[in-house]
Structure 1
Amino acid sequence: MTPTTHSAPVPEVWLPLRADEIEGLPEGLTYHFYDGAQEYPADPADCAYYVVPYMKGLDAAVRPLPLMRGVQVVQTLSAGIDHVEPGLAQLPAGVRLCNAKGVHEASTAELTLALILASLRGFPGFVHGQDDEEWRSGFYPALADKSVLIVGYGSIGAAIEDRLAPFECARVARVARSARTTARGPVHAIDDLPALLPEADVVVLATPLNPATQGLAGADFLAAMRDGALLVNVARGPVVDTEALLAELASGRLHAALDVTDPEPLPSGHPLWHAPNVLITPHVGGSTSAFLPRAKRLIAGQLTRFAAGRPLENVVRTTG
């Protein structure tokens, strides 16, 4: 009697994009489309690789996780992982969490430069002047000869410095969780901030959100910034203490350009909308035409490595 053979189950993958829209996906995997809808495309218990829906909110990201008893990889399409962290404790041990390093650097760095230049050169006032048919000429600050401090010197922070290079800044200083040396110069530890903040004309926040960075730009941080300095936040809203920032903006001492806010979305009637000297964009650092091509390349590359049993890139945490 011929013994019965059982083939191994085909690993199932949940994608927020349709599989036929992504070139280079490996064979040997079963693909399901899930973009955060209430109805799941398959049994979550059978999902081996979960690509989290992008910009669909906390519920869409986390809701399936407690049911994914066989998941091996959770892949975000964002640089930050804070939106999936509430669900990680419900996962089995050994699940790899990967972020989207390489996807958002270009777009976020572009927006950072746009926010800096628009704020320094007075673009919000020009837009209001155009609305009122007023010719608001005069002298405005330039980025040239300014000192810039980048707080959070990962891949996005480095991409921001790449784009600062042609603007003839007097100095670019870098801060990360711990000190190190790069080809461009030293990266200071976060403990050096009190000495660095008073020297900067522009302070850019590009840190991940975690317990160490929540409220980092609080009253003491802001008070250490020099008069007239510009704070740019392309990190996460809670990295800045909103009430402390409002006090500095109301006094006229600081300026701010914010792609992220706390709370977010910023509700109607919130005082930050009409605070003086602030430019607000609605968290659009990564949501540009550059996103999809890079996201698709990341997904295809990661799943090719997964299917072949090779090490994944961008692993930022393993559960358990």
Structure 2
Amino acid sequence: MTADIWLPFAADQIEGLPEGLAYRFWDGGADFPADPADCAFYTVPYLKGMEVALRPLPAMKSVRVVQTLSAGVDHVTPGLGALPAGVRLCNAKGVHDASTAELALALILASLRGFPGFAEGQRREEWRSGFYPALADKSVLIVGYGSIGAAIEDRLAPFECARVTRVARSARTTERGEVHAFTELPALLPQADVVVISTPLTEETKGLAGADFLGRMKDGALFVNVGRGGVADTDALLAELESGRIKAALDVTEPEPLPAGHPLWHAPGVLISPHVGGSTSAFLPRAKRLLADQLTRFAAGEEPRNVVLTSG
């Protein structure tokens, strides 16, 4: 049998791919490009949803690597049970850092400085002058301090924040300073003016930002989610927004896409972008470089980078 490599881009569009591999193009269309049983390296089509991501997995009896082009892998993990033991599931660490961090900063600034109101004022031909909150002198809490969280801190650096506090699943020390554990959140949340969620969706983080989490945020604080919608409890968030106690800027929601008529669309103090943190002009060159590197390692019999889980 041939060892097929499934890619969501044509192989001739990716510089640096190793020779001697059988490249098959599949971007989630109805027809598979070849027999899934012959696939050794499966690149999950980007932004095509869980149904597409999982569709070929049960037939992939020879697959050795499953590569996502997203930082999160929650749309793929439900299908791991159908795979042979020892399959490496890899994420796209590094591909989305710049774009997602850029959007996080944009959401923070737009919400604090009142951009949604300015846009509405422009539509109504109203001059809405006044004083608005600045990011300068604010305390920012980053929940989910991986490569994206670190990239967000990089972009906060010029804005003269009073303090940036880092939180991850477990405590550690980095060259930037201390990273606190999730268990310390109850004490940290009341100190933050801006709380940024950049953690992936896992069993541990699902519903992490629930009623207790949100209730501990200080009055007037801003909740920003560029991670996954399921990390926040939507009902609890709606309750806080409708009370007017906090504000929110969300690139991700639960459910997603957010359906017409959902109360989150018109909740007071909320700014919503349609999950565009990673889908920018920066995506393609970084994704292609990742695939070229991973497949060069694969062809050489080396361990792939960014292994998140191993099946079996």
For this structure pair, what is the TM-score category when the shorter chain's length is used for normalisation?
over 0.9
1:212-268 CA distance string (max 9 Å, x none): 100000000000000000000001001000000001000000000000000000000
> Which residue number corresponds to residue 184 of structure 1?
176
1:3-50 CA distance string (max 9 Å, x none): xxxxxx542100001111111110010000001111100000000000
Would you say 1:46 and 2:38 are equivalent positions? yes
User: Normalised by the size of structure 2, how large is the TM-score?
Assistant: 0.99
Task: State how far apart, in whole Å, the 1-side matches of 2:24 and 2:2 are.
Answer: 13
1:153-208 CA distance string (max 9 Å, x none): 00000000000000000000000000000111100010000000000000000011
Task: State how far apart, in whole Å, the 1-side matches of 2:303 and 2:84 are.
Answer: 19
- Amino acid of the residue matched to residue 250 of structure 1? E
Would you say 1:211 and 2:232 are equivalent positions? no
Task: State how far apart, in whole Å, the 1-side matches of 2:245 and 2:111 are.
Answer: 14
Please say if residues 12 and 30 of structure 1, whose CA atoms lie closer than 8 Å, have aligned partners that are also in contact.
Answer: yes
Corresponding residue to 1:100 among 65, 75, 92: 92
Residue 89 of structure 1: SS of its match in structure 2? helix
Corresponding residue to 1:297 among 276, 289, 298: 289
- Amino acid of the residue matched to residue 304 of structure 1? T
Residue 53 of structure 2: SS of its match in structure 1? helix
Aligned residues between the structures: 312
Structure 2, unpaired ranges of 5+? none
Corresponding residue to 1:254 among 246, 263, 268: 246
Task: State how far apart, in whole Å, the 2-side matches of 1:17 and 1:274 are.
Answer: 38
- Amino acid of the residue matched to residue 147 of structure 1? S
Residue 203 of structure 2: SS of its match in structure 1? coil
Task: State how far apart, in whole Å, the 2-side matches of 1:313 and 1:288 are.
Answer: 23
Percentage of identical aligned residues: 77
Please say if residues 107 and 290 of structure 1, whose CA atoms lie closer than 8 Å, have aligned partners that are also in contact.
Answer: yes
Would you say 1:60 and 2:52 are equivalent positions? yes
Structure 1, unpaired ranges of 5+? 1-8
Task: State how far apart, in whole Å, the 2-side matches of 1:121 and 1:189 are.
Answer: 31
Please say if residues 10 and 28 of structure 1, whose CA atoms lie closer than 8 Å, have aligned partners that are also in contact.
Answer: no
Please say if residues 15 and 32 of structure 1, whose CA atoms lie closer than 8 Å, have aligned partners that are also in contact.
Answer: yes
- Amino acid of the residue matched to residue 65 of structure 1? L
- Amino acid of the residue matched to residue 272 of structure 1? L
TM-align CA RMSD: 0.6
Would you say 1:128 and 2:120 are equivalent positions? yes
Task: State how far apart, in whole Å, the 2-side matches of 1:105 and 1:250 are.
Answer: 32
Task: State how far apart, in whole Å, the 2-side matches of 1:90 and 1:11 are.
Answer: 19
> Which residue number corresponds to residue 201 of structure 1?
193
- Amino acid of the residue matched to residue 77 of structure 2? E
1:123-164 CA distance string (max 9 Å, x none): 000000000000001100000000000000000000000000
> Which residue number corresponds to residue 67 of structure 2?
75
> Which residue number corresponds to residue 6 of structure 1?
none
Structure with greater Cα Rg:
1
> Which residue number corresponds to residue 268 of structure 1?
260
